[in-house]
Each structure stands twice: as structure tokens, then as C-alpha cells.
Amino acid sequence: MRKRIFPTLLWIGIPLLLVVVVISSASVGAADIKILDSLRVLLSKMPVIGGTVDVSKIRPNDFIIILRIRLPRVLLAGLVGSGLALSGAVLQGVMRNPLADPHVLGISSGAAFGASVAISVGLGGVVFGMGGTTAFAFIGALITISIVWRIAFRGQRGAVVGILLAGISVSSLLTAAITMMMVMRRDQLEKVYLWMLGSFSSATYPKVILLVIFLTGALFAILPAAFSLDILSTGDESAESLGIDARRLRRRMIVISSLLVAACVSVSGIIGFAGLIVPHMIRLLSGSGNRRLLPLSCFAGAIFMIVCDTLARTIAAPSEIPVGAITALIGAPFFLFLLWKARAKGVGG
């Protein structure tokens, strides 16, 4: 028997934890603002109780810091964390491979390639409130998706191995191209490398809106298929015998995940670990049923990323540690701990 924590506890607890994490993360940062003042600023913007909060003694710049720097950053981190965790969970299910993660399809390398082109060329400009790098990264990701799609799903294929191979090959090709560009434009090498390490430091509301659009779209497309995905995990043939078009479902899920990953990586670089580990953490807590796994992964992914980003920007303030380093440093030991506990109680890995 799998160990199961009472589902209701999770359904209430995790979203609640997310709200707490969002508010507390928006209250801390490099700037010297009292936590109580941050809370006041945040509360003052809420629809009903906003008017009752006294914010007269707070400096105007503190408003800017909390509402235009920290809050979009926390929101963006949460949305990207959700997106990566959701795509990770979907890809792990659809490929029947526990090691699948959002970056395995080569999309992230495509985004990185687009970004490095933009950086090497010195592209500036502000498009829809986002920099040229974000736009180019997204275009790069989209082009990569279409290439991998064409290779992986050509004709009667659609087998998992083909998809993975196509993704890995395209990814290697793009990484080589990025390397060459970095060597040719040595003066921009650091910028390209830092972009790829991932960061939320340039979070803005337009980026938040972009992610909201993509995440909501992905949720609308994926959640209804949650049960079908459960069936798909039993095997293509048994799924087909139950009326599921395995290949079509897999293709649809991969494309949707890819678009979501493209959006995530374009705004924040390549942040590893979240998409791989968060679904596993949820599985250990509540099993592999997608109707629970997918939404809970979204919430947990958001919490995880926000916590990691908050640490990244406060531990060595005013310097910033790349958030990808924190996700690995926190995620790996925590996951190992959960795994060890699960194995100790006689549950299979």
C-alpha cells in the first residue's frame, strides 16, 4: 500500500503555503524595508481592505521597490516554477520516464541560442515591456519546437525514444552553436553565460502577464486530460484498447508543454531541477494520479521557485546568486531525504 497523506490536507495546505510564501517573499529583499511596512504596502493594494491600511509614513520609493520590483519578481518566479513543474510532471507521465524534465526536448537550448544571438549582436530595444533577449529567446524556442516536432513526429513515428533523441540531438547542436558564438564574441561571453544560468532579476509585469497567459492556456489544455494521461501511463497498447489515441495525446501534451517551457525559459533563462524534482516530491506525498499530481505540482513548483529565488537574492545581498544554483542545492538534498524516508517505510522508489 502506498503511503498517502490525507488529500484534503494537501489541497488546502499547499495553496495556503503558496499565499504565505508569496507575501513573505515580497516583504524581504536587498533594500532596507521593515517587514511590517512591506505588508502594509501589499495590503494597501488589495481591493476591499486596501483603504483601511495606513501607508502615510512609507517612502514612495519603497512602494516602487515592493510593487514594481519584488512583487513582479515573486509572481514571475512562482509562475515559472509552476510552469516548469507542470511540464515536468506531464513529460514524465507521457514519456513514462521519471528522469524526463522540461529541458530534455531541446527547447531550452533553442531559447538560449536565441538569447545569445540577441546578446552577441548587442540587441537592445524594449518590446512590449520586455527586452530584445526575451523576444529572441522565445523565437529561438519556437523554431526549435517546430524542428524537433518535425523530426520526432514525422509519419507514423511518435514513439518516446524518437522524441527524446530528436530533442537531445537538436539540443547538442544548439549548444555547440552557442559555444561558438560565445568564443567569437568573447566580450559578451559573461553576459550569455549569466543569462543561461537563469535569473528573475529583470522581472516585469509584462513578463508576468505572458506567463499567466501561457500557464492558464496550458492548464486548460492539460488538466481535462489528466485521467487519460493516467491511462496512457499503463502503456500505449493498453491505452489504445481503452479508446485513447496514444500518439495524438502524447503529441498534444508535448507541444503544449513545449510552449509553456518556451515561455518560462525565455523570461528567466535555464533553471534546472524544478521541473524534474517537484513532481517527484508530490508523487512521494500523494501518489502518481495525475488529477492530483498536476495541480499540486503547479502549486509546489511555485513555492519551490519562489523560495529559491528569495534565497538567491537575499543570502548575499546586494549581490545575487544564480537561482539555478539554489534550486539544485535545496532540491537535491530535500528530494534525497524524501526518497530515503519513503524507502525506509518499504515503499518502492
Partner 1 sequence: MAVVFSLCLFSCTPATEPPGETSPSIESVLSAISEFDTVRTEPEETETSETAGSLYPMAIDDSYGNRAIIEKEPMRIVSLAPNITELLFDLGAGEKLVGRTDYCNYPESALSIASVGSIDMPSVETIVTLDPDLIIASSIFTEASYEALTELGYTVVVFHEEYDMDGVKDVIASVGAIMDCGTEAQSLIEAMDQRIQSAIEKIDSENRPSVYYAVSFGDYGDYTAGGDTYVNALIEMAGGVNIASDITGWSYSVEKLVEKDPDIILVNEYMLADFMALEPYKNLSAVKNGQVFGINPDLIERQGFRNAAGIELLVSLFYPAE
The only residue of 47, 224, 318, 349 in contact with partner 1, by rule CB under 8 A: 318
Selected binder of partner 1 within 69, 91, 210, 308 (CB under 8 A): 69
In the complex, what is the shortest distance from the CB of residue 32 to partner 1, in angstroms, rounded to a whole number?
Answer: 7
> H-helix or E-strand containing 75?
helix 71-94
64 binds partner 1 (CB under 8 A): yes
* Interface residue with partner 1, options 47, 51, 124, 155 (CB under 8 A): 124
From the list 184-192, 222-230, 250-258, 286-294, the region that binds partner 1 by CB under 8 A is: 184-192
Site for partner 1 in 253-312 (CB under 8 A): none
**Position among 39, 194, 328, 339 found at the interface with partner 1 (CB under 8 A):** 194
Query: In Å, what is the CA distance from 268 to each residue of 160, 237, 289, 296?
Result: 28, 39, 30, 22
The grid coordinates of residue 62 equal: 519603497
Inter-helix orientation angle 71-94/205-222, to 10°: 30
Closer residue to partner 1 (CB): 62 or 101: 62
Per-residue string for binding with partner 1, 196-215, x by CB under 8 A?
---x-xx-xx----------
Which residues does 19 contact at the CB level (< 8 Å), separation at least 6? none
Taking Cα atoms as reference points, which of 196, 210, 172 lies closest to residue 119? 196
User: How big is the chain, counted in residues?
Assistant: 349
Q: CB–CB of 261/83 below 8 Å?
A: yes
Nearer to partner 1, 159 or 168 (CB): 168
* Range in contact with partner 1 (rule: CB under 8 A) among 24-32, 99-107, 218-226, 338-346: 24-32
Beta carbon of residue 41, minimum distance to partner 1 (angstroms, whole number): 13
> DSSP states of 140-170 as a string?
HHHHHHHHHHHHHTSTT---HHHHHHHHHHH
Q: Does residue 31 touch partner 1 according to CB under 8 A? A: yes
3-state secondary structure of 130: strand
Angle subtended at Cα 66 by Cα 129 and Cα 128, rounded to the nearest 5 degrees: 5
SS3 (DSSP) at 278: helix
Q: 109, 175 in Cβ contact below 8 A?
A: yes
By CB under 8 A, name the one of 7, 17, 24, 30 that touches partner 1. Answer: 30
Residues at the contact surface with partner 1, assessed by CB under 8 A: 29-33, 61-62, 64-65, 68-70, 119, 122, 124-126, 129, 131, 133-134, 175-176, 179, 182-183, 186-187, 189, 191, 193-195, 199, 201-202, 204-205, 313, 317-320
